[in-house]
Structure 1
C-alpha cells in the first residue's frame, strides 16, 4: 500500500530515520487499528534535480522497495524513502537495494 496523505508523511518524519549513501529512510510503527500491512511513500526534493531527475529517482526507489520490503518490511509500519541529490538516480541498483535493506534493519533495530 502507498502513502498518499501529507499527514502520514509528517508522522513518519517525526519517527525513526536512517540515512544511507543513496537515500534517507524514515519509519514509524502505526497505532493499533490504523491499517493492515506496511505502507510506503516516496519523495524527492528539488535538490535532486529537475522533474525528470526526480521522477527517475522515485522510480528507482519504488523498484528497490518492491524487491526489498516484502521480505523485511513489518506489518503495521509506514516507511518513507527520500531520494538524495545525484546519488539515487546514478547508484547501482544492487547497491540501492542493499542500502534500503540496511536502513530498514537499522530502523527496526
Structure 2
C-alpha cells in the first residue's frame, strides 16, 4: 500500500487497492455531499491491517466524463483526503470517496474541504451497524 503524504506522521494513512476493501466500505455507512459520496466503515478486530492505520480509496465512474475529467476529480479528492484525514479521520477506519460530476472543475475546492470535514463528523456520530449478512454460495434459485 502506498502511503499518502501528510503533515501529521502520528496518523499514518494508506490507499485502498483491493476490490474487496472497496466492497466492504460500500456495504457500510454512506453519506452524500454535492461533490462526492463518502463510504466509511470501522474495521473489525482481527483484520490483517494495522489498527492505527487510516485507509482511503478513490473511485470515479464513467458517468463523470472522459478519462481527463475522472482523473481530475480523483486528484481533487486525493488532495481533500490528504488535507483533512490526518486530523479528522479515525484510526481503524476505511474511507472511500466516490466522485460526482460536480467534483471535476465546477465545485469550489474550499467548499469541498469544508464538506469533507462535516461529513466525517456525521459519519463518525452514526451508530456502527453490523455487517450485512451474505448470501451463501451456491444458493441459486431453480
Question: Shorter-chain TM-score: what band?
Answer: over 0.9
Runs of 4+ in 1 over 6 A off after TM superposition: none
User: TM-score, length-normalised on structure 2?
Assistant: 0.74
Higher relative contact order (CA 8 A, sep 6+): 1
Structure 1 residues without counterparts, runs of 5 or longer: none
Unaligned runs of 5+ in 2: 1-13, 126-142
Aligned position for 2:119: 103
Deviations 1:49-98 (A, max 9, x none): 0000000000000001000110110010000000001x001211111111
Mapping 1:1-109, distance limit 5 Å? 1-34=14-47, 35-36=49-50, 37-85=53-101, 87-89=102-104, 90-109=106-125
Q: Over residues 10-32 of structure 1, what are the superposed CA-to-partner deviations in whole Å (9 max), with x where a residue is unaligned?
A: 00000000101111000000012
RMSD over aligned Cα, in angstroms? 0.8
Larger radius of gyration: 2
Distance 1:75 1:52 in 2: 32
| Alpha-carbon offset, residue 33 of structure 1 | 3.6
Structure with more of its chain in helix, by fraction:
1
TM-score, normalising length: structure 1: 0.96
